[in-house]
Structure 1
Amino acid sequence: MNRHAKSLAGLLPLLALLPLSGCASRPDYTLRPPASSEWVTVAVKLPAETEVLPLDVLYRSETCRRKVYDPTTESHVSTERGLNPMQMDLSPADGNGVRQIRIAFDGGTKCGWTLSGIRVGIQLAKTSVLANGKDIIPANYVFDFDDEGYSNAFGKGKPNFVSGDLMFKTEFFPMVITNNMFIETYAQLFAGNTKYEKWNRYYRLSGTKNIRIEPIVYSKKVVKLESPRNRKDSPGMTVLYPDGTTEKIRGIIPDYTKLLSMK
């Protein structure tokens, strides 16, 4: 199971343990957008040997709230907006290779669900040669539509504030990571260290009705990282760049600027 699936799987049991309050009966987790709802369209056009995962879509409700542990109160219980996470499939590709979906801002029902966040994951296709026999890690774009959204989606700071319709043409390099200690090999798409704003793909949106993602993947420019084979080897990952040069690094973040010079 990849990290994308694990994150969703870890969230669902939590929701079951924290029942919602504020609704006269069991909350309605289905969506029934009213005719007055506005919509956002997410469109994805991918190069060969890549695939898009079902979108993670998060709605929240002010009406159907959930109980949470709160050490600051006498009862140790308080409430916060209810959560309604779901997955949505994009349409089959059209004649131009574009897959898309329309997502309602107002989810309707007695809970009054409102769109809080969307996560778009792309990855090397399971059928691709590079992914064969490896665990696949998706590269995510995360979009918040309120001040909670996915709450620090990448674990590194706040989202970038942007407005209006958006087009992304991120330049990705296939990256293969071999961990000799745990005998594991991962394959992913790499586009820079997301802790830096210029490469971060986490956004807080305002007035956005269209999101289009058309990544560029340099499929022949593979970067490989390998951990030490034994304790006698020097610490750190060895990076093998597409031009044949190598270097030692701490962590698993190669030099993206160097990679861009090789495209």
Structure 2
Amino acid sequence: MFSRMPMLLCALFFGLSGCRQDYSLSPPADSEKVSVTVKLPKELALRSLQVMYRSASCKRASRGASGQPLEEDGFHSIDMPLERQGQSDLYQASLPVNGGGACSWHLSNVVFGVTYGMPTFFGERVTWGAGGGVLVKFDRNRSMRGSGSPVVVDGDLTIRKDYYPWLHERFLGGYAKTISLAREGDIFLEYQALQARQVYFEPMFHSDFLVKSEGVKVKSERNYITFTYPDGSVVSDRRSQPDFLKLQTLRTGRARECFSIIRYYKCPDRRPQLLPEWLPDPDKPGFGRYFIADEWGNELPRYHYRLLGKSGQSFQGRTDPSGRTQPLPDSAHPPLEVQFPERKW
């Protein structure tokens, strides 16, 4: 597949290395691979997998905001299919880390995700809206999409997120009716995973919890989008998208704080856990760390813990912004007991 990929337009590089340069990809047979896997719910459909390779050898000419000439790493973007694995609900693609070729291409980032499978289920004129996108960066270069503030992940990347169907009617600027995927945060999930070789995405779609909204019909500072939630409640405030935590609360019956890693300590029935994987500390031989997470596997930053190591020694502290414990001696692994106090001892 990669040997047949088209060359980048010569115009992108003209004046830097000329038009005789071969810009094609040619991954070596022994290149490391990154596998991207999506577990697809039956109501959803796959977006195409967009892959970007970068090259420090084959530069790209561009201009800045003031018209000044700029030079940056060249890029080569391609679309690849995610192939179904047998009769399962898993779809996968394998991407060479080393793109090879005369430009020595390397894997930079990927964009993929899910959409609603049949928008016309909600009416003939209903079209796809937004949501369900994922961006993963494997280097520090600028990506195709995203806000530029990714979640930084060590090692492989596993993503499990809740999604809800969101049916919206727009009136100003022409009528449109769209079905989107409501989730926490921005349209795109954005990660930086420099060492990842496995990327797994499992969207958990709650099709029975439809939220509807109507846009304003007359433009006014006092007019807002009106949201109707699955319990029949109607809310019109300054929000431009559904209240995700309200949807989570309606579905589970649990407090809003239970779904926020920042406010999780206020969850009345919190269920934190020490993830079992022991992570040796590369900077401190003989030491390692654990991740502390909520019941869904989301790492909890600045969360208090106390554990009893196999030697009988007690260790206590607070996780770092990534949800990791402080460096612990090897004698703390595996722990005999783990506690999560409400306040620091």
Q: Counterpart of 1:262 in 2: which secondary structure?
A: helix
| Correspondent of 1:203 among 187, 191, 196 | 191
Question: Which position in structure 2 is the counterpart of 1:259?
Answer: 247
The answer on 1:89 being equivalent to 2:81 is yes
Indicate how the Cα distance of structure 1 residues 131 and 169 shifts in structure 2: closer, same or farther if over 3 A, else same.
Answer: farther
Are residues 15 and 126 of structure 1, via their aligned partners in 2, closer, same or farther at CA, if it must alter by over 3 Å?
Answer: farther
Q: How far 1:132 moved relative to its partner?
A: 4.8
* One-letter identity of the residue aligned with 2:38: V
Question: How far, CA to CA, are the matches of 1:148 and 1:39 in structure 2?
Answer: 19
What CA distance in whole angstroms lies between the structure 2 residues aligned with 1:217 and 1:101? 22
1:144 matched residue in structure 2 = 137
| Aligned match of 2:152 | 161
User: Residues 45, 132 of structure 1: CA spacing in aligned structure 2 closer, same or farther, 3 A cutoff?
Assistant: farther
Counterpart residue type for residue 38 of structure 1 = E
Quick check: which has more Rg, 1 or 2? 2
Q: Match of 1:194?
A: 186
C-alpha distance in structure 2 between counterparts of 1:226 and 1:25, whole Å? 55
Q: Which residue of 1 aligns with 2:201?
A: 213
- Superimposed CA distance per residue, residues 160-208 of structure 1 (whole angstroms, 9 cap, x where no aligned partner): 110112222210001112111120112111111229xxxx710011211
Distance 1:230 1:68, change over 3 A: closer
Deviations 1:89-143 (A, max 9, x none): 0113423221101001111110111111101121101366147532213421100
1:241 paired residue number: 229
Q: Distance in 1 between matches of 2:42 and 2:189?
A: 22
SS in 2 for 1:258: helix
Distance 1:216 1:33 in 2: 34
Contact 1:193–1:253 at 8 Å: present in 2 too?
no
Deviations 1:38-62, CA, capped at 9 Å, x for gaps: 1110011111110111101111111
The structure showing larger relative contact order (alpha-carbon pairs under 8 Å, at least 6 residues apart) is 1
What CA distance in whole angstroms lies between the structure 1 residues aligned with 2:160 and 2:209? 17
Hey, what does 1:6 align to over in structure 2?
none
Tell me the C-alpha RMSD between the 2 structures.
Answer: 2.6
Does residue 45 of structure 1 match 2:39?
Answer: yes
Paired residue for 1:8?
Answer: none
Matches within 5 A, 1:164-183: 164-181=155-172, 182-183=174-175
* Structure 2 unaligned spans of 5+: 1-7, 252-345
Contact 1:178 1:227 in 2 (8 A): yes
SS of the residue corresponding to residue 193 of structure 1 reads coil
**1:225 equivalent among 189, 192, 213:** 213
CA distance in 2, matches of 1:202, 1:231: 33
Change (3 A) 1:224 1:112: same
Q: Give aligned-pair identity as a percent.
A: 26
Which moved further from structure 2: 121-130 or 111-120?
Answer: 121-130
Provide the rounded CA distance (Å) in 1 between the counterparts of 2:116 and 2:71. Answer: 40
Q: How does 1:13-32 map to 2 (within 5 A)?
A: 18-20=12-14, 21-22=16-17, 25-29=20-24, 31-32=25-26
One-letter identity of the residue aligned with 2:63: Y
Task: Calculate the TM-score normalised by the size of structure 2.
Answer: 0.64
CA contact (8 A) 1:45 1:97 kept: yes
Counterpart of 1:44, as a letter, is V
SS at match of 1:261: helix
Greater alpha carbon shift after TM alignment, 172-181 vs 123-132: 123-132
Counterparts in 2 of 1:56 and 1:138: CA distance versus 1, 3 Å: farther
Distance in 1, matches of 2:63 and 2:154, equals 35
Between stretches 186-195 and 47-56, larger displacement belongs to 186-195
Distance in 2 between residues matched to 1:259 and 1:78, nearest whole Å: 46
AA aligned opposite 1:142? L
Distance 2:150 2:220 in 1: 41
User: Structure 1 residues 113 and 233, CA, compared in 2 at 3 Å: closer, same or farther?
Assistant: closer
Contact 1:176 1:223 in 2 (8 A): yes
What is the aligned length? 241
Residue segments in structure 1 that go unaligned for 5+ positions in a row = 1-13
